[in-house]
Amino acid sequence: MWVPESFAENQVPENIKKYNYYVNLAELSIIDSVYQKAVFYYDSAFMKKDYAFAVDKYNAALCHVFLENYEQAYSLLKEILQKGYSISNLKNKDLFDNFFLSKWGKGLIDYSKDIVFTFNEDLRNTLDSLFYMDQLFRKNREFGDPYDFFEDTINRIDDSNRVALEAIIDKHGFPGEEVIGLSDSCLIQQPYSIILRHLQQISTGRRRGEVTNVSPMVIDAYHSGRMPAHEASDLLELAYRDFGSFSASMIRFIYIPPGDNPFQIPEEEKAKKDWSFINLKEEEAETINKVRLEFGLETIEDLRKKLVFRLDNDTFDFRKIRGGKNILTTLDKVQYDHVKKNLIPVR
């Protein structure tokens, strides 16, 4: 397994690894419904770096709500609202009903009417405009595949976005959540993520021309605490395949019989939920886990627990967890039978 030179030269700062370590323990405690232990681990994580990510604050706040620690929930939710997240997202969830009946919940409603934002709104608008341009022609399917008609334009926009993003970083540092805040409706999606993805991955659009190496930018953002571990590993994995996210993911392996369209999955197959994990050999899992732990990620085993939890539970926000569902197809019956023997059911 090849590791980028910059990984060896610049080890992940210990406080970043500790932050991720405690957040992982908190999330595992949530899975076990031990919320008091979860808030202890979140508190430990939040002491390790200057800025804790909003999705972690949200999950910690929800633990406090379940424990009826409404004052602590108020403090965490207030910080999230200060980053641009709309209180309507909370009021529309039954989970927060009792909280909003309390004096702390009513206080949060009052506060939301006159919020003092703690992010750079102008910079947020600039990043949103870059994202808009990134998507403008990629989403235009009026004439078919947008790359068949707008490839040169898309590439020019990507190059322009790269220059603009580099200028922003030179002036403000990496534009993470701490700097540009949140979408009003989502705790995790940031405009820079898709821009970076398109700059470096040929398969998502750059069919010609130079592909930008964004790895130094991503590593610096992660090491400085401005990019979450799962997002950083996801972007780096596009180039290096180092973190085993696919190996950890839930998959469905489908055999397409002769005569059927090999590019079209039957609707009845799409509807099935018989997900499986790849049965990794012990030495394979150890190799992957070594890389993951050195970077500050959880083990394959812990990641899989979270993916299974996310299947049936949308109470807590586990969408940041990289890895998920992949449907694979084959026309080779021998290959299909061989692979099926090496899959273990999720349930």
Provide the pLDDT for residue 118: 96
User: What is the rounded average pLDDT of the residues 292-298?
Assistant: 92
| Residue 248 in this model has a pLDDT that exceeds 90 | no
pLDDT: which is higher, 169 or 239: 169
Taking the C-alpha atoms of residue 129 and residue 195, their distance in angstroms, rounded to an integer, is: 11
pTM of the model: 0.87
pLDDT value at residue 26: 98
Domain boundaries, the chain: 5-112, 121-240, 245-345
Q: Round to whole Å and give the CA distance between 191 and 176.
A: 10
Question: Looking at this protein, which amino acid is placed at residue 43?
Answer: D
Confidence of residue 145 (pLDDT cuts 50, 70, 90): confident
The predicted structure's pLDDT at residue 75: 98
Average pLDDT, the chain: 86
Rg, C-alpha atoms of the chain? 22
Task: Check residues 240 and 192 and name the one with the higher pLDDT.
Answer: 192
Note whether 80 and 187 are within 8 A (CB). Answer: yes
Q: Write down the pLDDT at residue 10.
A: 60
Q: Region 226-235: what's the mean pLDDT?
A: 91
- Is residue 189 within 8 A of residue 90, CB to CB? The reply is no
pLDDT at 308 over 90: no
CATH class of 5-112: mainly alpha
DSSP 75-132: HHHHHHHTTT--THHHHT-GGGHHHHHSHHHHHHHHHHTT----S-HHHHHHHHHHHH
Which of 21-25, 182-186, 338-342 has the lowest average pLDDT? 338-342
